[in-house]
Chains A and B, each alone.
Chain A
Amino acid sequence: MDMTAMVDVAFLLLTFFILTAQFRAQDAAAIETPSSISGIKVPDKDIMTISLSKEGNVYFGIDNQQKRLDMLDNFAAANGLSFTDKEKKAFSLLSSFGMPKTQLKAFLNLDPEKRNAYKQPGIPTDSTGAGAANELKDWVFNARKANNDLRIALKGDNLAKFPNFKNVLSTLQAQNINKFNLITGTEAPPAGWTAD
């Protein structure tokens, strides 16, 4: 049997998928987002993602690896911490993390396999958004210091309770950030509905 044509098509498909592939980043927690009819796509770059798991833990991440390092440097300087090059390297590979600052160093020193399996407790927040124990505000501040163009995406789990979301909201509002994107799945609008 002459397979040439089939092989041609197969490799064409292979090329297509290789070129369009965008790998799913490993996230700190599995999050199932609700769906909405909104058709706006999430921007590709300059994006800060604050995730809220169903237990109410907060995870934080920015997309650019170089900016992650800048952010860590800013954060370390502001909090009197220091990180070795190895720890910085490990940090730059995390697409999102949820560790309090006191445990971050030990977490970065774990073996990669152990680190992936480690259950991260989430970044501390509070209800006023500006308290001393609120570390999310420091991360948000230092991330924006590292990259001023960052847009903010909130990614919450279906089952996350509203008060936890409110804590994140007030943290952002306390820094005068009043516009964000909520990441949702896509669902079809009801029949007959048209956008304005």
Chain B
Amino acid sequence: MSEIDTSGGGGGKGDGKVRSKKASTRIDMTPMVDLGFLLITFFILATTLSKPSSMTLNVPDKTKTEETEPIKASNVMTIFLGKDNKAHYIFGKAANEDPEVKTVGYGYDLRKAIQEEARKVPADKFVIVIKPTKESTYRNMVDILDEMAITKTKRYALVDELTADEKALIKDKLKLDV
């Protein structure tokens, strides 16, 4: 495979003179090359070339309470993160006003739903409230935060407490006990 010509020069002169055989200056590199490729393979497999990315999450300071203008329910889309990778949302009505609960999967369906609801109100008024239930997973939360980035929703809040009305609504409409 990796033979290297070691015959040296001067084979063709048949004049009977005794010549000392010339030592070749070439060496057999096969083992070195083998080792080199072994190391390359090792380093290729052991390195992590693609570094993971990170998304920043800022949460409000718990020690400070700021008085802000109350948000009208008609501008709010509340998304509940349910179990089995399903999201449920209500829009335009508070939980005690018998709103219609729609269920979507994560990804395209959810993105379309957000964009549809966002069109119904002025862009600076639209607010999304994200309420993860105890059945939801970390992945669901990252997915929904990612949707916020994709749909460029500027005003959203991650709220981990469900109100009594919301609990009743979910239990009533979705048969989910949260």
Binding site for B on A (CB under 8 A): 1, 3, 6-7, 10-11, 13-14, 17-18, 20-24, 33-34, 36-42, 52, 153-154, 156-166, 169, 173-174, 176, 178-186, 189-190, 193, 196
Contact = CB atoms under 8 A, between A and B. Distances in A.
Contact of A42 (B44, B54, B142, B146): B54
Contacts, number: 155
Nearest to A195: B149
Nearest to B62: A173
Interface of B: 2-4, 29, 32-33, 36-37, 39-40, 43-44, 46-63, 81, 111, 132-143, 145-146, 149-150, 152, 160
Contact of B141 (A17, A165, A178): A165
A161 B48 CA distance: 28
B169 to A, nearest CB: 19
B68 to A, nearest CB: 17
A21 B46 contact: yes
Contacts of A156: 138-139, 142
Given A14-B43, A176-B63, A178-B59, A159 B53 contact: no
Given A11-B36, A17-B43, A33-B52, 7 more contacts: A14-B36, A52-B138, A162-B132, A162-B135, A164-B138, A179-B59, A182-B54
A182 B142 contact: yes
Given A183-B54, A196-B152, A158 B139 contact: yes
Contacts of B149: 36-38
A40 to B, nearest CB: 5
26 contacts: A3-B2, A3-B29, A3-B33, A6-B33, A13-B40, A14-B40, A17-B40, A17-B47, A18-B43, A20-B49, A23-B47, A34-B142, A40-B54, A40-B55, A158-B139, A159-B138, A161-B137, A162-B132, A165-B138, A173-B59, A178-B58, A180-B57, A181-B55, A181-B56, A184-B53, A186-B50
Main secondary structure of the interface of A (DSSP, over half): mixed
A160 B138 contact: yes
A190 B107 CA distance: 10
A18 B46 CA distance: 10
